[in-house]
């Protein structure tokens, strides 16, 4: 690991001042950043520890009630605390499930909301500085295109990058239409709809979100959505625990008298960003909650897939994952 300066920020303003320094990185749980620093992928000259900010403003690490039944998750709240919160489990089961199906107990006790949605891809070439990677070193090439790409994306890819977005939690947030609250260098707060937070790789896979350098995530708002009580996060992976998704689905359904009145669908493990599927939702709403409808929705969700040789299986796997998730929620 390279030498770096370390500062523990006492409050948000101090963090923003330090965080705006060129090559500075915020340190939250550190479960992704420190990993990548050891691999020499991340090379910050300054590490700004934000874990003490909650002493000055406890709401940064808490879950707060908002009017109408919505919830605000502090940017520094831990995955475990959010996953086991009774309000989250009751109002948004798929949010809780997406967190509990990720990483391990120890990691979830350290990792935070902000760090989770900013975690970097697990593409092995991104993590190996001996190989070309456009995301790590813009313009160097993509080793995965003609290399090992079994776990890579089939949706939202470009000729410059086919890396899968790794977060499970982010898939539930995309389905939910969550909002990210951010404070920038000038201290002003702004909000970003979650479905616009991550960007497609296109020609610049090194850019993954709409954040500016130095922006600090202060909270994630979960909107009130009564039918999210009928939701599920289903994750399919190589091992039953401690593995990233090969395919996953976050779904919520509002079914009355056998007809689907409203639906939310997002996919994970198969796309370059958390993948909301308006096509699947369109195929569901107003239709009977039957296997035929669910299969049509799955076909619509994967219609734009661009598989490669080793990851073609993901198209069928994602369809089956989605159909099973919809079947379970409808039941």
Site of interaction with ligand SF4 (CB under 6 A)? 121, 123, 125-126, 133-135, 142-144, 161-163, 205
Least distance to ligand FAD from the beta carbon of 317, Å? 16
Q: Which is nearer to ligand SF4, 176 or 245 (CB)?
A: 245
Interatomic CA distance for residues 214 and 119, integer angstroms: 16
Among ligand FAD, ligand SF4, none, partner that 277 touches (CB below 5 to 8 angstroms by kind): none
Q: Which residues bind ligand FAD (CB under 6 A)?
A: 25-33, 35, 50, 75, 102-103, 107, 110-112, 114-116, 118-119, 166-169, 216-217, 244
The CA–CA distances, whole Å, from 286 to 260, 262, 278 equal 5, 8, 14
Interatomic CA distance for residues 78 and 59, integer angstroms: 12
Least distance to ligand SF4 from the beta carbon of 151, Å? 10
Among ligand FAD, ligand SF4, none, partner that 32 touches (CB below 5 to 8 angstroms by kind): ligand FAD
Long-range Cβ contact pairs of 27-31 (< 8 A, separation 24 or more): 27/51, 28/75, 28/76, 28/111, 28/112, 28/114, 28/115, 29/78, 29/107, 29/110, 29/111, 29/112, 29/115, 30/110, 30/115, 31/103, 31/107, 31/110, 31/111, 31/115
Least distance to ligand FAD from the beta carbon of 119, Å? 4
Number of residues that make up the chain: 331
Among ligand FAD, ligand SF4, none, partner that 205 touches (CB below 5 to 8 angstroms by kind): ligand SF4
Q: Which is nearer to ligand FAD, 33 or 271 (CB)?
A: 33
Q: Which is nearer to ligand SF4, 116 or 143 (CB)?
A: 143
Residue 263 pairs in a beta bridge with: 253
Long-range Cβ contact pairs of 188-191 (< 8 A, separation 24 or more): 189/218, 191/221
Q: Which is nearer to ligand FAD, 149 or 165 (CB)?
A: 165
Least distance to ligand FAD from the beta carbon of 127, Å? 11
Among ligand FAD, ligand SF4, none, partner that 107 touches (CB below 5 to 8 angstroms by kind): ligand FAD
Least distance to ligand FAD from the beta carbon of 42, Å? 7
Least distance to ligand SF4 from the beta carbon of 185, Å? 28
User: What torsion do the CA atoms of 119, 123, 128, 134 make, to the nearest 10 degrees?
Assistant: -90
Q: Are strands 189-193 and 216-222 parallel, antiparallel or unpaired?
A: unpaired
């Amino acid at each position: 690991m390279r030498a770096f300066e370390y500062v523990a920020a006492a409050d948000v303003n101090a963090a923003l001042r330090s965080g705006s320094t060129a090559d500075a990185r915020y340190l939250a749980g550190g479960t992704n950043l420190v990993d990548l620093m050891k691999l020499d992928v991340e090379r910050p000259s300054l590490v700004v520890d934000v874990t003490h900010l909650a002493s000055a403003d406890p709401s940064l690490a808490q879950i707060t009630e908002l009017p109408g039944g919505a919830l605000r998750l502090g940017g520094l709240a831990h995955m475990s605390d959010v996953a086991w919160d009774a309000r989250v489990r009751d109002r948004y089961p798929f949010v809780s499930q997406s967190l509990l199906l990720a990483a391990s107990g120890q990691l979830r006790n350290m990792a935070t909301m902000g760090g989770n949605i900013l975690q970097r891809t697990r593409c092995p070439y991104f993590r190996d500085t001996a190989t070309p990677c456009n995301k790590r070193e813009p313009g160097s090439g993509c080793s995965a295109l003609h290399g090992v790409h079994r776990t890579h994306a089939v949706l939202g890819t470009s000729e410059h990058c086919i890396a899968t977005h790794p977060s499970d939690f982010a898939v539930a947030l995309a389905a939910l239409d969550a909002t990210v609250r951010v404070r920038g260098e000038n201290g002003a707060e702004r909000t970003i709809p979650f479905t616009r937070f991550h960007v497609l790789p296109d020609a610049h896979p090194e850019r993954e979100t709409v954040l500016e350098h130095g922006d600090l995530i202060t909270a994630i708002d979960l909107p009130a959505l009564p039918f999210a009580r009928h939701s599920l996060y289903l994750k399919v992976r190589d091992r039953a625990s401690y593995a990233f998704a090969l395919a996953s689905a976050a779904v919520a359904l509002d079914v009355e008298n056998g007809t689907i009145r409203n639906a939310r669908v997002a996919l994970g493990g198969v796309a370059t960003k958390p993948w909301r599927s308006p096509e699947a939702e369109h195929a569901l709403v107003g239709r009977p909650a039957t296997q035929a409808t669910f299969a049509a929705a799955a076909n619509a969700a994967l219609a734009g897939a661009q598989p490669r040789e080793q990851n073609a299986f993901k198209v069928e796997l994602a369809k089956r994952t989605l159909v099973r998730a919809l079947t379970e929620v409808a039941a």
